[in-house]
Amino acid sequence: MWGRWSAATVFLYQRRRVSSGTSLACFGGGWRKMAGSKVKQDMPPPGGYAPFDYKRNLPKRGLSGYSMFGIGIGIMVFGYWRLFKWNRERRRLQIEELEARIALMPLLQAEHDRRTLRMLRENLEEEVVIMKDVPGWKVGESVFHTDRWVTPLSEELFNLRPREELLHKRFGFLWYV
Amino acid sequence: MGRNAVRSSQEHGCSLVSPGSLVFKPIKVSSSVLKAAAHHYGSQCDKPNKEFMLCRWEEKDPRKCLEEGRKVNECALNFFRQIKGNCAESFTEYWTCLDYSNLAELRHCRKQQHAFDSCVLEKLGWERPDLGDLSKVTKVATSRPLPENPYHSRPRPEPNQTIEGKLEPAKHGSRLFFWNW
């Protein structure tokens, strides 16, 4: 038993030595080969490999955090400035369009007044014709107790006209549904 | 509903408005034409326009402002006659450019506007008013007197008479429900 154990240890020892020998061979040793075998192996070139970088290379590059924030904020401020400038320009354009409306309002109001009065006149004349046989009917009597001008309703103005004229008056310029 | 609510002839008919006075020559132009000429119209026909609007605002009655409305109409007709006589082509180009879009935005037609403005300036001597000039508040001088009681309101009740004699506080307080102070 002692012999076997010692043989085993010697075997193991020899084994280890052989492996260290082969590792030395990786580094260009080769002075220790496996006992008894001449095998063609893939070995490093004579003189060994050239040295190479194996350490970590994480260079510090790029902008710092502060400067990145600064650039972002700078871009935002530039955007705001451009937006405010354009908004002021839009306000000027809107004022111009509203002034066009202001300039035209007397003309449109005068024409609208004349049209209303003309329609009321025509309605009155029709009423005289329609209600001439009704006893006790005062033509053109006001339904209000006051005698000031009351703006007539569209239904009242367009009463004797085709319905599509009333619809056009009420909904002709409506954009939404 | 309509038959009962027609205005009376005594109110708007014979005494105030005769049918002849409602005969006017309408200005047959479309909205883009009006908008194209609006700024110049506002500065040229300023006086009758402002008088009409003042009359309308004060009297609150369209029947009383027909004369001023007639002056507005005449001024507008003269204005468009002058443009048609002098600067017709540049004006046509301007309002057709405005007519192209649905909203008739003035900022898309600046080139034609400059052409029209320069033509009008050299031929008629009209200057386009600056931004904000047309929306300024103006004072209008009229010979028409200020109407009293434009709303035709009934006479207001007289104020209470002043109480003669010495006033004392109530003997048992306000006597509202249970309060005796």
pLDDT tens by residue, B91-108: 999 999 999 988 889 999
Closest by Cα among B110, B116, B118, B128 to B88? B116
Q: Mean pLDDT throughout A112-132?
A: 93
pLDDT at A139: 87
Number of structural domains (chain B) is: 1
pLDDT at B24: 82
CA dist B101 → B37, B117, B152 (Å):
17, 21, 47
Q: Residue B96 domain-assigned?
A: yes
- What gap in Å lies between CA A162 and CA B15, rounded to an integer? 31
Helix locations, chain A, DSSP H: 2-26, 65-130, 154-157, 163-171
- What gap in Å lies between CA A31 and CA A17, rounded to an integer? 12
Mutation target vs B (from A91, A99, A123, A157; most B CBs, 10 A cutoff): A99
> How many contacts, defined by CB atoms under 8 Å, are there between A and B?
147
pLDDT at B85: 93
CB-based contact, A152 to chain B, within 8 Å: yes
Residue B12 has which token pair? 């708007």
- Give the nearest partner residue to B134 out of A99, A138, A143, using CB atoms: A99
Q: How many alpha carbons fall within 13 Å on the CB side of residue A35?
A: 5
Q: What is the pLDDT of residues B21-56, one digit of tens each?
A: 667 888 889 989 999 999 999 999 999 999 999 999
Q: Which residues of A touch B101 (CB under 8 A)?
A: none
pLDDT at A22: 47
pLDDT at B14: 34
- Give the nearest partner residue to B69 out of A114, A118, A143, using CB atoms: A114
Closest by Cα among B38, B58, B34 to B46? B38
Scanning A35-74 for CB atoms below 8 A from B yields: none
B13–A140: do the CB atoms touch at under 8 Å?
Answer: yes
Q: Mean pLDDT throughout B4-20?
A: 44
> Does residue A175 register a pLDDT over 50?
yes
> Does residue A130 register a pLDDT over 70?
yes
Q: Mean pLDDT throughout A54-82?
A: 95
Q: Which residues of A touch B53 (CB under 8 A)?
A: 105-106, 109
> Does residue A37 register a pLDDT over 80?
no
pLDDT at B139: 92
> With b meaning 16 or more CB within 10 Å and e meaning fewer, what string describes B31-55?
ebbbbbbbbbbbbbbbebbbbbbbb
Scanning A71-110 for CB atoms below 8 A from B yields: 92-93, 95-107, 109-110
B69–A110: do the CB atoms touch at under 8 Å?
Answer: yes
- Number of C-beta neighbours around residue B8 at 10 A: 16
Mutation target vs A (from B3, B7, B34; most A CBs, 10 A cutoff): B7
pLDDT at B43: 92
- Domains of chain A, residue spans: 66-139
Q: Residue B171 domain-assigned?
A: no
- Give the nearest partner residue to B19 out of A116, A121, A147, using CB atoms: A121
> Does residue A102 register a pLDDT over 60?
yes
pLDDT at B162: 92
Q: Between these two residues, B147 and A1, which has the higher pLDDT value?
A: B147
Helix, strand and coil content of chain B, in percent to the nearest 5, comes to: 55, 0, 45
Q: Give the confidence band of A2 by pLDDT, cuts at 50, 70, 90.
A: low
What range does the domain containing B68 cover?
Answer: 30-135
Chain A residue at shortest CA distance from B149:
A148
Q: Which residues of B touch A156 (CB under 8 A)?
A: 1-2, 5-6
Determine the angle formed by the axes of helices B110-124 and B88-100, rounding to 10 degrees. 160
Query: What's the one-letter identity of residue B2?
Result: G
Chain A residue at shortest CA distance from B106:
A97
> Does residue B13 register a pLDDT over 50?
no
> Does residue A97 register a pLDDT over 60?
yes
> Does residue B6 register a pLDDT over 60?
no
A142–B7: do the CB atoms touch at under 8 Å?
Answer: yes
Q: Residue B148 domain-assigned?
A: no
CA distance, residue A79 to nearest chain B CA (Å): 23
Q: Residue B167 domain-assigned?
A: no
ipTM of model: 0.78
pLDDT at A176: 86
Distance between start and end Cα atoms, chain A: 108
> Does residue B57 register a pLDDT over 70?
yes
Q: Residue B67 domain-assigned?
A: yes
B6–A107: do the CB atoms touch at under 8 Å?
Answer: no
Q: Residue B173 domain-assigned?
A: no
Scanning A111-130 for CB atoms below 8 A from B yields: 111, 113-114, 116-118, 120-121, 123-124, 127, 130
Q: What is the pLDDT of residues B106-161, one digit of tens each?
A: 999 999 999 999 999 999 999 999 999 999 999 999 999 999 999 999 999 999 99
pLDDT at B4: 32
